[in-house]
Structure 1
Amino acid sequence: MPLGRKHLLILANATISMAGSVGATAGQSESQGFLEDGHLNLLARNMYWNHDGHAGSADKREWGQGFQLSYTSGYTEGLLGLGVDLSAYQVTKLDGTKKYSGRAGVLVPDGEGSADEASSAGAAVKLRVSETELRYGNNLRPYNPVFAPSDGRLMPSTAKGFWLTSSEWDGLMIEAGHMTAAKDFNSTNSSDDFFAAYAGKGTSTVDFFGGTYALTDAMNIGLYGADYKDIWKQYYTNLNLTHALSDTQSINFDFNLYKTNETGAALAGDIDTIAYSLAAAYSISGHTFKLTYQKVDGDTPFDYLGMGPGTYHDSIYLANSSMLVDFNGPNEHSWGAFYTLNMAPYGVPGLSFSARYIKGSGVDASHMSIDSPYAFYGDKSSEEHWERDLEAKYVVQSGNLKGLSVRLRQATHRIGNNASDYSSDQFRVIVEYPFNIF
């Protein structure tokens, strides 16, 4: 059953009642006041984006400066605390010719390329009892495996609706949402639809419910479900285990699984897909080595959240989802090798490097319906491709520029036989500077 507004309010009341019954009132009882606990923060983000589509897809080159201003109030004192969250976002184009601009999502399109400037604002009211919070507004930013608006451009994506979070018991976090409108990262319109990103089909409502629980200090599980009205029902589970071998060594196993089926009017067609991944990592000092395997079982790709036509967000927790492609084609399987180096143990805290290589094969869309929104795969079978991603990042650790970060990212994607995608190269430079005003 979809989690509508009525069901969400019932859940909120039930959670609040349980909070009172178990006596877990520390969160609200420690409130110092609406203004006293308030915070005003500014994030300045500069981003350059260069995408070479190798004549198979459009080239994209954009450079801009963004500012994210956020005010988070405290809560009024008493059993029931009230507060507000306010936000304002602004983007300025530094470079972006008409030929290459308006496509990457870094800047805001204006119909002829990208706008020189664009801005938006949002607000939410919130109430808290104990460790349970309920928010309503148009600047909500949940982030979970089935609904995760991206903050990967100059402006973050936001949603309008109700969002409930609760941490009444040690180790358990639960949340629920009833979302009714979207604002994409390249848009100032806060009343857009949500989308099945690959299918390009929109819906006005997304409901989700789930949470995470720490079974032990080393083992966590996660369970989520979502209903994208008239598109799909999606279920997710995760198991994450970390085992310390010594003070400087550990191993980690991470398993993710999604199950997706069409629902209602089935705007994206028939969907019956299972997608899963397994990652195994070994860490020693500042080095991490990881191997991954990912598989899609189904005649349509594993699809996930979009918040505007042609954009892709972060609701894909599969291990081989990458900068350029997700290795999520129909019946596709892929292997990956990852390496990360944290230079802190070697006297350079804040500096890190990473590299990964992923190869996918076995894409088979030959059994897909010819009228499916995913028919752009054609009747391809045995498709192969690979991606290599490189990254370097440095965060200033002290002094007047503490928190300033510089991040360089480069990705290469190459196609093999029977390809439904394109070869491409992409380079990004992201510079961020957070200001804690008060």
Structure 2
Amino acid sequence: MSFRRKTLLALAISTATGAPLALASQAESQGFIEDSHLKFMTRNLYWNHDRHGGADDRREWGQGFRLDYTSGYTQGTLGFGVDLSAYSAIKLDGGRGYSGQAGVLVPDGEGTKDAAGSAGASVKMRLSNTELRYGNNLRPYNPVFAPADARLVPGTATGFWLTSSEWAGLDLEAGHMTASKDFNSTNSDDDFHASYAGVSTDTVDFVGGNYAITDNLSVSLYGSEYKDIWRQYYANTNYTYSLSDDQSLNFDFNIYRSNDEGRKLAGEIGVTAWSFAAAYTVGAHTFKVTHQRINGDQPFDYLGMGPGTFHDSIYLANSSQLVDFNGPNERSWGLFYDLNMASYGVPGLTFHARYIRGTDVDGSKMDPSSPYAYYADSEDHWERDLAVGYVVQSGPAKDLSFKLRQATHRIGNGKSDVSSDQVRLIIEFPYEIF
């Protein structure tokens, strides 16, 4: 998987579930209380999505709070512990008539709630370097099942989650998930969704892992089943070649295969989606070129945890802020640029830009009864994303972060989406109480 996805996975496991980046051995346990942690985070999010062509705009502003307690494990051959979470979302501005559309705030049927909260818990046990969790605050993060943390509070799942690092360089996991809580919901008993099809299931299973062959070469394999919707398989190869102390090349290849399953609630599915990215890093600068293809008469679809929401189970290179360039038979190219200002004496300041163009979207071979039958023939579009971020490096406000993201999407020919502009401002402050 790509460096970006590896980082997200590490953060998801470490901050949301309390597990360290590499699973600690039960033999190293200091005790239930001794190894426990209590973390608090505030997140302020302003979301302004200006949609063109008469489509409804989406504007919301809110404040989120998150409290995560992760216990250590009891000592002994088999250790036991608990993880507890509490979330709240407060409305600062409902968007003057546009509330409830962005997924930032919690809907109440007539708009959005002024304040909403939820809580979750899981029990866990550990043997050697293998952990098993059961509860309703689980946040696996992998190519086939990745609840997002892109609003005020994260999405979470209910079920069993097994992770294992018994062999050096090999990280394995499996999950059986039976319910979800979306990032704009307080209900932990919702179904899982196929985001683009708009159909739902109450069970998702996955298994897979990542193997670091060397420090510079890794491979990943995953499989999942969304009951009565699809079976999905994923593979990745990621290789970094060092040219010098401050120069390197990175090559990242991702491929998915999705086939309909069971009662075929999303209709017939037979899609192969792949992407290739080549990046050159020199000092503070990274330049990347990407190519992505969708081979199939349906789009590449992935996890939703509520009607109309999209999560992160798409590791294709051109999946972007507004669109995924995943239409049936679509071809897309992208140019990326990243700048880390630490090399220029401003650590914590980063800049990102990308431009992606997609063509050849072909919905003409779609079964008219398919829930995906909203694509035209020969659709094309492009997206430009800009982002600037800063993380405070020291002092009382250490780790306070600011990120401003702007995206522009334009339709050349098509009906599956609309042209739009979006601005997001995210201010976060994580604090480890103990």
Contact 1:384–1:419 (Cα < 8 Å) also in 2: no
Task: Give the 3 Å change call, closer, same or farther, for CA 372–437 of structure 1 in structure 2.
Answer: same
The residue aligned with 2:270 is: 272
Contact map agreement 1:60 1:104 (CA 8 A) in 2 = yes
SS at match of 2:232: strand
Alignment correspondent of 2:61: 63
**1:323–1:411 Cα contact (<8 Å) kept:** yes
Structure 2: segments with no counterpart, 5+ residues: 1-22
Residue of structure 2 equivalent to 1:184: 182
The partner residue of 1:167 within 146, 165, 168 is: 165
Secondary structure class of the residue paired with 2:25? helix
Q: Does 1:261 align with 2:259?
A: yes
Q: What amino acid is aligned across from residue 73 of structure 1 in structure 2?
A: S
Deviations 1:388-433 (A, max 9, x none): 0000000000000000000000000000023421000000000000
* CA deviation after TM superposition for structure 1 residue 98, in Å: 5.3
Which one of the candidate residues 127, 140, 143 is aligned to 1:142? 140
Q: Which residue of 2 aligns with 1:101?
A: 99
Q: Which amino acid aligns with 2:417?
A: D
Matched with 1:241 is 239
Could you tell me which of 288, 294, 297 is aligned with 1:296? 294
Aligned length: 412
Which of the numbers 383, 386, 389 marks the counterpart of 2:382? 386
User: In 2, distance between residues paired with 1:357 and 1:97?
Assistant: 29
Equivalence for 1:396 = 392
**What per-residue deviation string (whole Å, max 9, x for no partner) do you get for residues 133-166 of structure 1?**
0000000000000000000000100000000000
Q: Secondary structure at the match of 2:101?
A: coil
Partner of 1:5: none
Q: How far apart, in 1, do the equivalents of 2:253 and 2:414 lie?
A: 30
How far does residue 200 in structure 1 lie from its aligned partner after superposition? 0.5
* CA distance in 2 between partners of 1:122 and 1:164 (Å): 18
Shift of 1:26: 6.7
Q: Which runs of 5+ in 1 are unaligned?
A: 1-24
Conservation of the 8 A alpha-carbon contact between 2:66 and 2:86: yes
Q: Is the 8 A contact 1:340 1:352 kept in 2?
A: yes
Q: Which residue is 1:227 aligned to? A: 225
In structure 2, the CA distance between the partners of 1:252 and 1:26, relative to structure 1 (3 Å rule), is closer
CA contact (8 A) 2:374 2:415 kept: no
| Separation (CA, whole Å) in 1 of partners of 2:415 and 2:358 | 11
Structure 2 distance, partners of 1:26, 1:306, is 31
1:287 is displaced (CA, Å) by: 0.1
2:148 pairs with 1:127: no
Equivalent in the alignment of 1:27: 25
Amino acid at match of 2:313: S
Q: Does the 8 A contact of 1:91 with 1:154 survive in 2?
A: yes
Q: How far apart are 1:56 and its partner, in Å? A: 3.9
Does 2:73 match 1:85? no
- Tell me if the contact between 1:260 and 1:272 (Cα under 8 Å) persists in the aligned partners: yes
Aligned residue number for residue 349 of structure 2: 351
Distance in 2 (CA, whole Å) between partners of 1:415 and 1:145 is 28
Q: What is the alpha-carbon distance in structure 1 between the residues aligned to residue 167 and residue 137 of structure 2?
A: 27
Aligned-residue RMSD, C-alpha: 0.9
| Residue pair 2:363, 2:374 contacting (<8 A) in 1 also | no
1:415 aligns with 2:401: no
Aligned equivalents of 1:347, 1:231: Cα separation in 2: 51
Q: Deviations over 1:222-256 (max 9, x none)?
A: 00000000000000000000011000000000000
Identity of aligned residues (%): 69
Match of 1:428 in 2: 424
